[in-house]
Amino acid sequence: AVVDATECMPTFGAAFDDIRGFVRGGYSTLMNREGDLARLGTDYCLDWDYFMSMVLPQAVSHDCVVFVMRASEYSHVAGEVAGVCGRVRERGCKIAAILVGSSQDNCKVDYSLFDNHVEVLLPWQPLSHYWSCDSHMDYWAFLCEAAVKWVLNAVSTGAHVMIGKVLRNRMIDMQVSNSKLYYRAIKIIQEFSGGGEATAECSLLSAIHGRDTVDSALLSAELRQHLQAATGKRQVVPVAVLVSTGRYTVQEALAALLENPVVRSVLKQT
């Protein structure tokens, strides 16, 4: 969950608080080499206590809290989960659960706590025919983690599609923070504008630097200068796509997206 949340910022251009992951027990559960990183600031706080005291009070009705749990361990955390769910309900948020385990797990889960749930129950016996006990456990754990990651990817991707971060299966609001993403952005702009690569790059540079006119000096500048200007800036590619249509200045594109952040809806209005 934490890994999936961290990937959303560069992939979709998400804000830090759009999707976050929290771990029961925090860093003591993760057992990372550096120890408790919460000392570095609130951005590094990821235990449930911090979620309950600092994040949940800011939650609103269109937020969703997703629990990810091992089926075999549910009975040990059922009371705590029920308590957290109660507090989340008070904020009017939706609650979902992803339960991962073996098809042999025999645990009773109170699904009435959740609005929706997904069971990721992988077969146990067929796999045990191919590996020794130790290697089987390792491989089975890997499959569980991969399956949960796929489910979380579906959740986070679906959420970003709904808020306009995806256009025709393209992750359009990515951060232009390195050379690979810079040239990928040009291809995306070119695809939606129908123009040439040079025109698409000019639209991208306009969005990055906030300039309607791209002169020779800007075109000849080093790539690192463009990346520095683009890093941390949101809606660079959506603005560039609108600019590339020839119907928007940079400021007009920003205003249109402020009124309606879903790029495909704005394009339909042009």
Give the count of alpha carbons within 13 A of 114, CB side only.
Answer: 19
d(CA 105, CA 120): 11
User: Which one, of 102, 49, 56, lies nearest residue 80 by Cα?
Assistant: 49
Q: How far apart are the first and last CA of the chain?
A: 38
DSSP code of residue 166: E
Cα 101 to Cα 144: distance, rounded to the nearest angstrom: 7
Give yes or no for residue 262 having a pLDDT over 70. yes
Chain center to CA of 79? 29
- Checking if the pLDDT of 212 tops 90, the result is yes
Nearest in space to 229 (alpha carbons), one of 249, 204, 248, 254: 204
**Following DSSP, what letter does each residue of 125-148 receive, concatenated?**
HHHHTTS-HHHHHHHHHHHHHHHH
Cα(32)–Cα(233) distance, integer angstroms: 31
The average pLDDT across 146-171 equals 84
* pLDDT at 48 (0 to 100): 94
Residue with tokens 């609108």: 242
Phi and psi dihedrals of 108, rounded to 5? -100, 115
Taking all residues of the chain, what is their mean pLDDT, rounded to a whole number? 87
| 138 vs 218: which has the higher pLDDT | 218
DSSP state of 117: E
| Cβ 227 vs Cβ 179: under 8 Å | yes
Provide the 3-class DSSP secondary structure of residue 191: helix
Q: Among positive and negative, which fits the CA dihedral 172, 176, 180, 185?
A: positive
Q: What is the pLDDT of residues 64-97, one digit of tens each?
A: 999 999 888 888 899 999 999 999 999 999 999 9
User: Strand pairing of 170-171 and 166-167?
Assistant: antiparallel
Helix 223-230 with 179-193: angle, nearest 10 deg? 80
Higher pLDDT, 95 or 268: 95
Predicted TM-score of the model (pTM): 0.72
d(CA 26, CA 39): 13
DSSP-assigned letter for residue 188: H
Nearest 5°: phi and psi at 80?
Answer: -65, -40
Mean pLDDT of 201-209: 95
In this prediction, residues 113-138 reach a mean pLDDT of: 70
pLDDT of residue 215: 93
What does the pLDDT read at residue 123? 72
**pLDDT, position 136:** 56
Specify whether the CB–CB gap between 75 and 111 falls below 8 A: no
